[in-house]
Amino acid sequence: MTAETLRLSAARPRNLSLGRGLLIGLALLWLTLIVLAPLSVILVEALRKGLGAAVASLSQPDVWAAARLTLLTTAIATPLNAVFGLAAAWCVTRFDFIGKTLLMALIDLPLSVSPVISGLVWVLLFGASGWFAPWLNAAGLQIMFTPVAIVLATILVTLPYVARELIPLMQQQGSDEELAALTLGARPSAIFLFITLPNVRWALLYGVLLANARAMGEFGAVSVVSGHIRGLTNTLPLHVEILYNEYDFVGAFATAALLAVLALLTLVLKSFLEHRHADDLAARGRR
């Protein structure tokens, strides 16, 4: 190494550090404005009349009912979409078939239509004058304006997330390892369990977390199919709106804070897993 290059490499970090500081500062400023400020507004408003008032408004049975329904909906919608997303990604990246493009477009559809539409389609299918109304009436079944409709709407809205995370990765990975296992005589279930699943587990986790966050926070589609019956068909986001409209600002913001805490918990879980498996992640290039 000549003296020239030594000087250059010594000078580079110092030159960079100004730009780096600026960039970091800008990113932090932006984050503060867009994420931290609104988040702290929620907390400040929730605590405006003291911690006691916030806790009191959270201990209302209606809030608990809403939280239960939100968690139940998420607990049903997320695993179903994880299974569907895995199956769809497998299908799309490992096989060629007629209608593959159509299937991929359909998977993306819930992302591109407004959530209001994603709710309204269920009304048109299962509502009192919907397509299946005669059959449902004969069977004495009510789907619209019950938790079932809320789960259906949530599944539709969160359908793309897992598949969208998995497809690019599985395309990039290719099927070489699986083919090798096949030629060595591995059973399909073994190939899936010991090769496919481990290869995509991080992408799967991210997809599940995204779907989970969206399922908990969904407002538009759920609002259309809920019927807003207090204690029965109100999810947390709907309950926030109701409380706000009742001039119960402390209650509304306390409930919003509860929702934010639930979302933060999933983030903490993700960070914890990332931290624990940092080596594994580095070896796989972040995925």
Which 151-170 positions form the footprint of another protein (CB under 8 A)?
151-152, 155, 159
Q: CB-wise, 231 or 274, nearer to another protein?
A: 231
Please report whether residue 246 would count as binding another protein according to CB under 8 A. Answer: yes
Contacts to another protein from residues 60-79, by CB under 8 A: 72, 76-77
Query: Contact with another protein (CB under 8 A): which of 49, 113, 231, 281?
Result: 231
Task: Give the chain's end-to-end CA distance (angstroms, integer).
Answer: 37
Amino acid at site 127 = G
User: Alpha-carbon torsion 159, 160, 164, 170, what sign?
Assistant: positive
Shortest Å distance, C-beta 130 to another protein: 8
For residue 149, which of 107, 129, 113, 120 has the smallest C-alpha distance?
Answer: 120
Q: Tokens for 284?
A: 């796989």
Please choose, out of 44-52, 90-98, 191-199, 211-219, the segment that lies near another protein by the rule CB under 8 A: 90-98
Is 170 within 8 Å of 201 (Cβ atoms)?
A: no
Cβ of residue 253: shortest distance to another protein, in angstroms?
A: 14
Contact between 112 and another protein (CB under 8 A)? no
DSSP-based three-state secondary structure for 144: coil
Shortest distance (Å) from residue 239 CB to another protein: 12
- Asked if residue 73 lies in contact with residue 151, where contact means CB atoms within 8 angstroms, the answer is yes
* C-alpha to C-alpha distance for 171 and 283, rounded to whole angstroms: 19
Q: What is the rounded CA–CA span in Å between residue 222 and residue 226? A: 6
Contact between 245 and another protein per CB under 8 A: yes
> Least separation, in Å, of the C-beta of 148 and another protein?
5
Q: Give the residue from 195, 207, 252, 261 showing the smallest Cα distance to 60.
A: 252
Measured from the CB of residue 262, what is the shortest distance to another protein in angstroms?
A: 20
146 sits in the region (left: phi over 0; alpha: psi -120 to 50; else beta) called beta
Tell me, residue by residue from 115 to 144, as one string, x for binding to another protein by CB under 8 A and - for no binding.
Answer: --------x--xxxxx--x-------xxxx
Looking only at residues 169 through 198 of this chain, which bind another protein when binding is defined by CB under 8 A?
A: none
DSSP assigned state of 231? T
**Contact with another protein (CB under 8 A): which of 230, 270, 277, 284?**
230
Which of 99, 134, 185, 285 touches another protein by CB under 8 A?
99
Other C-beta atoms closer than 10 Å to the C-beta of 74 total 24
Q: Does 242 bind another protein (CB under 8 A)?
A: yes
Contact residues for another protein (CB under 8 A)?
Answer: 72, 76-77, 80, 83-84, 87-88, 90-92, 97, 99, 103, 123, 126-130, 133, 141-148, 151-152, 155, 159, 227-232, 242, 245-247
